[in-house]
Amino acid sequence: MKKIGVLTSGGDSPGMNPAIRAVVRKAIYHNLEVYGIYGGYSGLINGNIKKLELGSVGDIIHRGGTMLYTARCPEFKSKEGQQQGIEQLKSHGIEGLVVIGGDGSYRGAKALTEQGYPCVGVPGTIDNDIPGTEFTIGFDTALNTVIDAIDKIRDTATSHERTFVIEVMGRDAGDLALWAGLSGGAETILIPEENYDMDEIIERLKKGHERGKKHSIIVVAEGVTSGTEFGKKLQEATNFDTRVSVLGHIQRGGSPTAFDRVLAARLGARAVELLIEGKGGRAVGMEQNKIVDYDIIEALGRKHTLDMNLARLAQELSI
Ligand code: F6P
Q: What CATH number did the domain enclosing 146 receive?
A: 3.40.50.460
Domain encompassing residue 118: 3-138+256-300
Q: How far is the CA of 11 from the centre of ligand 1 (A)?
A: 6
Closest among 59, 65, 67, 84 to 12, alpha carbons compared: 65
The predicted pLDDT at position 299 comes to: 85
SS (H, E, C) 159-184: HHCCEEEEEECCCCCCHHHHHHHHHC
User: Catalytic annotation on 199?
Assistant: no
Does the Cβ of 126 fall within 6 Å of ligand 1? yes
Asked, for residue 307, whether it belongs to a domain, the answer is no
Distance of alpha carbon 224 from alpha carbon 31, whole angstroms: 48
The predicted pLDDT at position 269 comes to: 98
Q: How far is the CA of 12 from the centre of ligand 1 (A)?
A: 9
Asked, for residue 316, whether it belongs to a domain, the answer is no
What CA dihedral angle connects 66, 248, 185 and 141, to 10 degrees? 0
Asked, for residue 312, whether it belongs to a domain, the answer is no
Distance of alpha carbon 46 from alpha carbon 69, whole angstroms: 14
Specify whether 44 is located in the same domain as 188: no
Q: What is the pLDDT of residues 43-66, one digit of tens each?
A: 999 999 999 999 999 999 999 999
Specify whether 133 is located in the same domain as 177: no
Distance of alpha carbon 189 from alpha carbon 78, whole angstroms: 39
Q: Which residues pair with 216 in a beta bridge?
A: 163
Distance of alpha carbon 269 from alpha carbon 144, whole angstroms: 25
The average pLDDT across 120-134 equals 97
Specify whether 132 is located in the same domain as 274: yes
Specify whether 59 is located in the same domain as 174: no
The predicted pLDDT at position 319 comes to: 78
Does the Cβ of 12 fall within 6 Å of ligand 1? no
Q: Is the model's pLDDT at 121 over the cut of 90?
A: yes
The average pLDDT across 150-170 equals 97
Of the candidate ranges 17-21, 190-194, 208-212, the one whose mean pLDDT is the lowest: 208-212
The predicted pLDDT at position 55 comes to: 97
Q: What is the pLDDT of residues 72-82, one digit of tens each?
A: 999 999 999 99
| Residues 6+ away with beta carbon under 8 Å from 131 | 299, 300, 302, 303, 304, 305
Asked, for residue 239, whether it belongs to a domain, the answer is yes
Domain tally, the chain: 2
Specify whether 155 is located in the same domain as 247: yes
Q: What is the pLDDT of residues 281-314, one digit of tens each?
A: 999 999 999 999 999 998 888 899 999 999 999 9
Asked, for residue 15, whether it belongs to a domain, the answer is yes
The average pLDDT across 250-258 equals 98
Specify whether 116 is located in the same domain as 263: yes
Confidence of residue 22 (pLDDT cuts 50, 70, 90): very high
Specify whether 168 is located in the same domain as 236: yes
Closest among 256, 292, 219, 253 to 65, alpha carbons compared: 253
Q: What angle do CA 24, 26, 32 make, to 5 degrees?
A: 75
Asked, for residue 269, whether it belongs to a domain, the answer is yes
Specify whether 153 is located in the same domain as 206: yes
Phi first, then psi, for residue 241 (nearest 5°) are -65, 110
The one catalytic residue among 127, 129, 140, 175 = 127
The predicted pLDDT at position 188 comes to: 96
Closest C-alpha residue for ligand 1 atom 7: 171
Q: How far is the CA of 205 from the centre of ligand 1 (A)?
A: 30
Asked, for residue 318, whether it belongs to a domain, the answer is no
Q: What is the CATH number of the domain that holds 283?
A: 3.40.50.450
Specify whether 116 is located in the same domain as 147: no
Specify whether 213 is located in the same domain as 260: no
Asked, for residue 314, whether it belongs to a domain, the answer is no
Q: What angle do CA 315, 317, 319 make, to 5 degrees?
A: 75
Distance of alpha carbon 81 from alpha carbon 107, whole angstroms: 13
Specify whether 247 is located in the same domain as 281: no
Specify whether 118 is located in the same domain as 190: no
Distance of alpha carbon 30 from alpha carbon 40, whole angstroms: 25
Does the Cβ of 193 fall within 6 Å of ligand 1? no
Closest among 133, 161, 151 to 239, alpha carbons compared: 161
Average pLDDT, the chain: 96
